[in-house]
Structure 1
Amino acid sequence: MSDSAYRVETTSRLAQWRIDNLASCTYRKSDPFKIGKWNWHLSVEKNRVLFVKLYPEISNLTRENPPIASFVIRVVCSVGDRKALTHPEITDKQLKTNEDFVWGIEVPLTGKFIIDVEFLDLKTFPREGGEPCSIWAEGLTQKRSNATALTSLSRMLTEGIHSDIIINASDGSTGAHRAILAARSPVFRSMFSHDLKEKELSTIDICDMSIDACHAFLNYIYGNIGQEEFMNHRLALLRAADKYDISDLKDVCHESLLEDIDTTNVLDRLQNASLYQLPRLKTSCMRYLVKFGKIYDVRDDFNAFLLCAESELIAEIFHEVLNAWKGF
């Protein structure tokens, strides 16, 4: 029997399994097919009655968040007048195992036939609890809402729509919005909640950041930063994230700085890892220097680094060196 005998053809919400004539006692299970978030199977078992089953493939996803399905299932004879047998519509039935939906068909079927499943909806329970939500409506609505919101925030920043605070960088100024800054940073929120000069004068002085880096910082806050802009200003963004307590930006910078450690930047990365408490970056830099022997490639720079590094960091480096020597 060819592999096509087990293949289920699908569109986004429709699945069709074409089956040749079954012997008098036969069991057949389809290949997995994907509808929504899950892989599914159809199976047929023919004895005196033809049993049709529809169920999701067993996985962690199925166990943790089983689908709640609404669907119409039909068996269509593919010869003659294409007679169809239709099961009454299934609505909001949770499917976990291959016994949760079983359709017994007593009408004898001969020749080739098609099992046709049209998924009307698939729902899951939200992780935070509550009523089940459609995965399709949820995804579409959320994507459109997020895209529209980000576009609007970007326009507010780039077009200066109702800006109510000025940020003074080291070499220029730009406008922003108190509410957005306060929502993204507890430090900004504190500035605007107390009688500080930032609240009184409607200005924020960020003298340790260039205007280009400041624009990148604001673009991140407003959800409009590009990859090239981010890469060009990673260290400035890391400093700003630490200074203004924006943890998600700090995490993004941390992940990015882990990706391209080399001899030209490893000592700077190590210094920043210590300064901003980035343990994974610190570990990666020390492994690069010690375990992979790159400390010899940056010997002159490393000697200068030791003259200005904090004693605690120097102690950690030599501890790493001693551990490496023990391995030989």
Structure 2
Amino acid sequence: MRCISCNARYDVVTCKKCHEDLKAKVAFLTTAQKNYQEDLEAKVAFLTTSQPDSFSDIVLFASDGGSAQAAVPIPAHKAVLVSRSPVFNAMLENEMEESLSGTIKIRDVSYGTLRAFVDYLYAAEVVCLDQQLACDLLVMAEKYQVHHLKDLCQKFLVANSTGRILFRPTPSCTSITPRRSSTQP
């Protein structure tokens, strides 16, 4: 038999020298991968604000038509909103009412959806995403042009669809339009 690495003649698949070299390379790569992962986790922790309400300079309110939670403010930072959404950028860069008052009232959205939306703008992740929240966030992502959230919601809805779409697809949501099977006319 020959060593598969150095082609030397041995009674096993690899010779001792090649085995030790491979073992050292695996150890190095494992350590490098662990260091890289720790570095990425540290960067993500740095980029996400642990307390978004500290030093906030704007407040958002949900207005879904009478919910008690609609009056609960969601503090945010203009810099975060502006950097994540061109709609917020236009709204807050110009002297619109929201920019002057420091308050944004978002109609036809529940507190939970708005909270999840703002949290996504900070951390680029949605906790406890279900089909209803994905649909609601998709509408908000479309309205505020947060493309990566829109893509996330569309992918979630496609992956978790039960064969029917619960809302009417729009021209800008082409990736979630139902496909016809070859047996349908």
Q: Does TM, normalized by the shorter one, top 0.5?
A: yes
Larger gyration radius, structure 1 or structure 2: 1
User: 1:241 maps to what in 2?
Assistant: 141
In percent, how many aligned pairs have the same letter? Answer: 23
After superposition, residues 50-69 of structure 1 pair within 5 angstroms as: none
Equivalent of 1:36, from 29, 34, 40?
29
Q: Return the alpha-carbon distance in structure 1 between the equivalents of residues 41 and 125 of structure 2.
A: 18
Q: Return the alpha-carbon distance in structure 1 between the equivalents of residues 85 and 109 of structure 2.
A: 17
User: 2:5 maps to what in 1?
Assistant: none
Sort the Cα spacing of 1:259 and 1:225 in 2 relative to 1 into closer, same or farther, 3 A: same
Q: What is the one-letter code of the residue matched to 1:178?
A: K
Describe the superposition over 1:1-23 as per-residue Cα deviations: whole angstroms up to 9, x where unpaired. 22253762456xx34xxxxxxxx
Equivalent of 2:60, from 167, 172, 176?
167
Describe the superposition over 1:154-197 as per-residue Cα deviations: whole angstroms up to 9, x where unpaired. x232xx20121111102233211111101111110111111111
1:251 is displaced (CA, Å) by 0.8
Unaligned runs of 5+ in 2: 1-10, 64-69
TM-score by length of 1: 0.44
- Check conservation: 2:87, 2:145, Cα contact below 8 A: yes
- Check conservation: 2:61, 2:74, Cα contact below 8 A: yes
User: 1:291 maps to what in 2?
Assistant: 182
Higher strand residue share: 1
1:280 is displaced (CA, Å) by 2.5
Higher helix residue share: 2
Unaligned runs of 5+ in 1: 16-32, 38-121, 123-134, 294-320, 322-328
- Check conservation: 1:216, 1:230, Cα contact below 8 A: no
Q: What is the one-letter code of the residue matched to 2:182?
A: K
Residue aligned with 2:99, SS: helix
- 1:5 maps to 2:26: no
- 1:278 maps to 2:173: yes
Equivalent of 2:158, from 258, 264, 269?
258
Sort the Cα spacing of 1:276 and 1:163 in 2 relative to 1 into closer, same or farther, 3 A: farther
Sort the Cα spacing of 1:209 and 1:292 in 2 relative to 1 into closer, same or farther, 3 A: farther
Sort the Cα spacing of 1:147 and 1:189 in 2 relative to 1 into closer, same or farther, 3 A: same
- Check conservation: 2:85, 2:144, Cα contact below 8 A: yes
Structure with higher RCO (Cα < 8 A, 6+ apart) = 2
Q: Return the alpha-carbon distance in structure 1 between the equivalents of residues 27 and 47 of structure 2.
A: 31
Equivalent of 1:146, from 44, 51, 56?
44
Sort the Cα spacing of 1:148 and 1:187 in 2 relative to 1 into closer, same or farther, 3 A: same
Q: Return the alpha-carbon distance in structure 2 between the equivalents of residues 277 and 177 of structure 1.
A: 29
Sort the Cα spacing of 1:211 and 1:183 in 2 relative to 1 into closer, same or farther, 3 A: same
Q: What is the one-letter code of the residue matched to 2:59?
A: I
- The runs of 4+ residues in structure 1 deviating greater than 6 Å are 135-138
- Check conservation: 2:131, 2:157, Cα contact below 8 A: no
- Check conservation: 1:242, 1:276, Cα contact below 8 A: no
Q: Which is further off, 244-253 or 168-177?
A: 168-177
After superposition, residues 81-230 of structure 1 pair within 5 angstroms as: 140-150=38-48, 153=49, 155-157=50-52, 160-170=53-63, 171-172=70-71, 173-223=73-123, 225-229=125-129
- Check conservation: 1:156, 1:162, Cα contact below 8 A: no
Q: Return the alpha-carbon distance in structure 2 between the equivalents of residues 142 and 262 of structure 1.
A: 35
Q: Return the alpha-carbon distance in structure 2 between the equivalents of residues 226 and 185 of structure 1.
A: 17
TM-score by length of 2: 0.74
After superposition, the CA RMSD in angstroms is: 3.0
